[in-house]
């Protein structure tokens, strides 16, 4: 399955940012921030690289650059294109 | 906290970047074998595996600069010259790996499998000997790019150890 690792990286990308912001808004532990910050940054980069390897138009790949939800955006367009292989994915924005 | 980040940074560098350096330096040798008629059958799986290690571990190796920047910011050394030079060399090594080494590996893999010719569509029509000569040139260039990549990483590691111009005294 081509998008297995992209799915994992996209989930961690978004989840780690949610946890980071929750931490910031509530207890604000510096240890949590410095552990999760690099994890989020790593997943952001991995999502971009993995999205670039997918056989999709550059327009779809560029969605991976969107912070926080880039991976989820690419996956949504990917699944939409897979369910309708004849037509290109419609513009959403 | 800097200790934890530094541990992740060093372990990721040893495991991920180390694997990539070994895989990219072995790839040209096995690609050469895979392009020879007699040795192609046993060498082809090795070429596949080495390309896969290079590709997958290159993505995982992204953790090294990310955690490195986190350590640098935790220690407050991001502006120091040895860090800036290391970051520039790491960027150069990453671009070399993603832009030259991995695409050329893929070309040679396709060529070894008898796929499309690497340079142009017309090259697929020329005699097999010419294709082999083309492949030999590709392998040499790939070996040079891989060697340069490994050299850049070695320089970065030395910079990380010696830290010339470091003001922290560690």
- pTM for the structure as a whole: 0.82
Angle between helices B102-112 and B40-60 (to 10 degrees): 160
Give the helix ranges, DSSP H, for A1-93: 4-25, 30-52, 58-62, 70-83
- The first and second tokens of residue B143, run together, are 């070996």
Interface touch B63/A38, C-beta < 8 Å: yes
For A56-68, what is the mean pLDDT?
Answer: 89
Is the distance from CB of A33 to CB of A24 less than 8 angstroms? yes
Q: What is the pLDDT of residue A81?
A: 85
Measured between beta carbons, which residues in chain A are less than 8 angstroms from residue B67? Answer: 38, 42
Q: What percent of chain B has pLDDT over 70?
A: 88
| Angle, CA of B28, B10 and A37, to the nearest 5° | 110
B68 Cβ partners below 8 Å, 6+ apart? B9, B86, B90
Q: Where are the domains of chain B?
A: 2-162
Predicted pLDDT of residue A87: 53
Q: Which residue has the higher pLDDT, B66 or A86?
A: B66
Please report the pLDDT score of residue B157 as a whole number.
94
Q: In this predicted structure, what is the pLDDT of residue B118?
A: 46
The whole-chain average pLDDT of chain B stands at 88
CB contact under 8 A, B4 and A35: yes
pLDDT at A33 exceeding the cut of 50: yes
Which two three-digit tokens encode residue B127?
């005699």
Mean pLDDT for B9-16 is: 95
Supply the pLDDT for residue B31.
93
> What value does the mean pLDDT take over residues A35-54?
92
Q: What number of other Cβ atoms are within 10 A of residue A32's Cβ?
A: 16
pLDDT at residue number B18: 95
Please report the pLDDT score of residue A12 as a whole number: 94
| All structural domains of chain A with their residue ranges | 4-83
Nearest-CB residue to A45 (from B4, B8, B66): B66
Predicted pLDDT of residue B141: 93
Q: Of B4, B66, B74, which has the smallest distance from its Cβ to A41's Cβ? A: B66
CB–CB contact A46 B4 (8 Å): no
pLDDT for res B11: 96
Min Cα–Cα distance to chain B from A41, Å? 6
**Tens-digit pLDDT profile for residues B90-135:** 999 999 999 999 999 999 999 888 765 445 555 555 566 666 778 8
Confidence of residue A86 (pLDDT cuts 50, 70, 90): low
Type and span of the H or E element at A84: none
The model's pLDDT over B57-81, given as tens digits with 9 standing for 90+, comes to 999 999 999 999 999 998 888 888 8
Whether residue A90 is predicted with pLDDT greater than 60 in this model: the reply is no
Nearest CA in chain A to B74: A34
Q: How many Å apart are CA B2 and CA B118, to the nearest integer?
A: 46
Which of A2, A13, A29, A34 best tests the B interface by mutation, with the highest count of B CBs <10 A? A34
Q: Above 60 in pLDDT, residue A68?
A: yes
* DSSP-assigned states of every residue in chain B: -HHHHHHHHHHHIIIIIHHHHHHHHHHHHHHHHHHSTTTHHHHHHHHHHHHHHHHHHHHHTTHHHHHHHHHHHHHT-TTSHHHHHHHHHHHHHHHHIIIIIHHHHHHHHHHHTT-S-SS-TGGGGS-HHHHHHHHHHHHHHHHHHHHHHHHHHHHHHHHHHH-TT-SS--
Of the candidates A31, A38, A50, the beta carbon closest to that of B66 is on A38
Position B135 scores a pLDDT of 84
Q: How does pLDDT run across A19-30, given as a tens digit for each residue?
A: 999 999 999 888
pLDDT band at A91 (very low <50, low <70, confident <90, very high): low
């Amino acid at each position: 399955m081509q998008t297995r690792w992209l799915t994992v990286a996209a989930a961690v990308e978004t989840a780690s940012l949610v946890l980071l912001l929750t931490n910031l808004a509530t207890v604000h532990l510096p240890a949590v921030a410095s552990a999760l910050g690099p994890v989020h940054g790593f997943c952001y980069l991995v999502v971009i690289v993995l999205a670039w390897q997918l056989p999709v138009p550059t327009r779809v790949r560029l969605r991976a650059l969107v912070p926080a939800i880039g991976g989820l955006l690419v996956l949504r367009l990917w699944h939409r294109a897979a369910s309708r292989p004849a037509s290109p994915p419609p513009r959403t924005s | 906290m800097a200790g934890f980040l530094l541990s992740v940074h060093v372990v990721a560098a040893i495991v991920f970047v180390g694997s990539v350096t070994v895989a990219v330096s072995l790839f040209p040798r096995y690609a050469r074998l895979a392009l020879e008629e007699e040795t192609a059958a046993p060498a082809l799986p090795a070429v596949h595996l080495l390309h896969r290690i290079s590709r997958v571990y290159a993505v995982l190796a992204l953790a090294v600069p990310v955690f490195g920047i986190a350590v640098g910011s935790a220690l407050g050394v991001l502006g120091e010259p040895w860090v800036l030079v290391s970051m520039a060399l790491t960027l150069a090594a990453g671009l070399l790996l993603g832009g030259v080494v991995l695409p050329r590996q893929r070309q040679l893999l396709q060529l070894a499998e008898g796929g499309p010719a690497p340079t142009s569509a017309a090259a697929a029509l020329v005699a097999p000997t010419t294709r082999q000569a083309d492949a030999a040139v590709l392998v040499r260039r790939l070996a040079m790019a891989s060697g340069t990549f490994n050299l850049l990483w070695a320089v970065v590691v030395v910079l990380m150890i010696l830290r010339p111009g470091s003001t922290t005294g560690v």
